Amino acid sequence: MMKTLFPILLLSATIGCTSTPKIRPKESPVALMGSWDLGEVKSCTEGKFEGEATAILLCDPQAGAAFYMTLGGLKTAKDEKTKSKLRDLFAGYTKTFEVVFEPRTAGYPPIWKCVKSTSGLDCAAP
pLDDT greater than 60 at residue 19? no
More confident: 5 or 124: 124
pLDDT greater than 70 at residue 18? no
Closest CA to 73 of 64, 84, 63, 62: 84
Q: pLDDT-based confidence at 44, cuts 50/70/90?
A: very high
Per-residue model confidence as pLDDT tens digits over 97-124: 999 999 988 888 989 999 999 999 999 9
DSSP for 50-99?
TT-SS-EEE-SHHHHHHHHHHHHHHHH-SSHHHHHHHHHHHHTTEEEEEE
Per-residue model confidence as pLDDT tens digits over 81-94: 999 999 999 999 99
Mean pLDDT for the chain overall? 85
